[in-house]
Amino acid sequence: MTPCIDILKISSLCFDIFRICFGVIYSVGPVGPTSVNNMKNKILIVDDDEELRDELRYCFEEFMFVEAGDGREALKVLKRAHNIDLILLDIKMPGMDGIELLEKIRENDLNIGIIILTGHGTKEVVVSAIKKRANDYFEKPININELKESIEKLLRNKNRKNNIEAMDIVDKIKMSEEFIKENYFKQINLKDVASMICLSRKYFSRMFRKITGKRFVQYKSEIKMKKAKEYLKNTSLNISQIAFKLGYDNAESFCRDFVMSAGRSPRDYRKKMSNMGLKK
């Protein structure tokens, strides 16, 4: 078997955008059962290579497959009522190419997972696929095990999103609060959190304030300042180190926010806490 080297590859949400890889061959035989869920997920393969479609069906027996030999046939499938969970999309096909089809799919569906498969992995193709919001990218011949990992990751994300969408608004807001607490040191904004819990920015902002009694920015700042006070009281970290741990670019910004929140500088707050400890 030809060893797997890095290929040029895209990864969605966070985040590993590229990796470089050449000379991969197919795994022999089925890869094994998926752990995503007990029901068979349905995948649409769009490729004019019938042999490749057969190979994918054989290697991924745990999935159900719908096939299309070109872009127009794929659009017909997607225009009908369907429960397609993910799309494997070839770039070079007769008539409509994969990039054009990707763009048309994204006009109507921003959420369905799309993995690009191509034997023409130029930089231009990769950049175009990124701009059209492909979730992942593999150059032919394909490493089946790596493709399986990518498929399962996208399906897990889809199932997670479905679970979130089924939550009521109170649970969604609680989830957002926990997310803010766990990521106080990151540069998160209202739009990011709203997207995570499948709400529009405006609706999330309104409901967050209604349920918590605080504006999003206010809540986020209070969480960060509470953590700052813990650092000042319980550690020997200097002001710059604390600012860095809280996600600030510089100590000046941190000090300004702390004064607005606590009414005194971080240094004065630490001195006050130290004096109170000595008195005890």
Looking at the chain, how many residues does it have? 280
Higher-pLDDT residue of 26 and 88 is 88
Do 87 and 179 lie in one domain? The reply is no
Q: Is residue 252 part of a domain?
A: yes
Would you say residue 18 has pLDDT above 70? no
Asked if residue 44 has pLDDT above 90, the reply is yes
In a domain, 34, yes or no: no
Instruction: Specify whether the backbone of 60 is left (phi greater than 0), alpha (psi in -120 to 50) or beta.
Output: beta
For residue 151, give every residue at least 6 positions away whose Cβ sits within 8 Å of its Cβ, in sequence order, or none. Answer: 34, 43, 60, 63, 86, 113, 115
Tell me: do 137 and 233 sit in the same domain.
no
Q: Is residue 19 part of a domain?
A: no
Do 157 and 176 lie in one domain? The reply is no
188 and 145 together in one domain: no
Same domain, 77 and 62: yes
Cβ atoms of residues 43 and 150 within 8 Å: no
In a domain, 253, yes or no: yes
Give the pLDDT score at 279: 56
CATH number at residue 74: 3.40.50.2300
Mean of all residue pLDDT scores within the chain = 82
Q: Which domain holds residue 224?
A: 169-279
Same domain? 85 vs 158: yes
pLDDT in tens, 76-99: 999 887 789 999 999 888 888 898
Which of 165, 188, 212 terminates a domain? The answer is 165
Are both 173 and 272 inside the same structural domain? yes
Whether 13 is covered by a domain: the verdict is: no
CATH of the domain at 195: 1.10.10.60
Pick the last residue of a domain from 115, 138, 165.
165
**Per-residue pLDDT for 187 more than 50?**
yes
Pairwise CA distance, residues 63 & 59, whole Å? 10
- Greater pLDDT, 136 or 161: 136
What is the pTM for the complete model shown?
A: 0.53
pLDDT range class, residue 16, cuts 50, 70, 90? very low
Q: Are 67 and 53 in contact (CB under 8 A)?
A: yes
Note the pLDDT tens digit of each residue in 100-159: 999 999 888 878 899 998 886 667 777 788 778 888 988 888 899 999 999 999 998 888
Number of domains in the chain: 2
Q: What was the pLDDT predicted at 23? A: 33
Please state, for a pLDDT cut of 90, what percent of the chain lies above it.
54
- Look at residue 65 in the predicted model and tell me its pLDDT: 93
Last residue of a domain, one of 165, 198, 228: 165
Residue 122, pLDDT score:
67
217 pLDDT exceeds 80? Answer: yes
Residue 207 falls inside a structural domain: yes
Residue % of the chain over a pLDDT of 70: 83
Give the number of other Cβ atoms within 10 Å of residue 46's Cβ: 28
Both 160 and 182 in a single domain? Answer: no
Average pLDDT (54-75) is 92
pLDDT at residue 266, as a whole number: 96
Answer yes or no: do 178 and 113 share one domain.
Answer: no
139 and 185 co-located in one domain = no
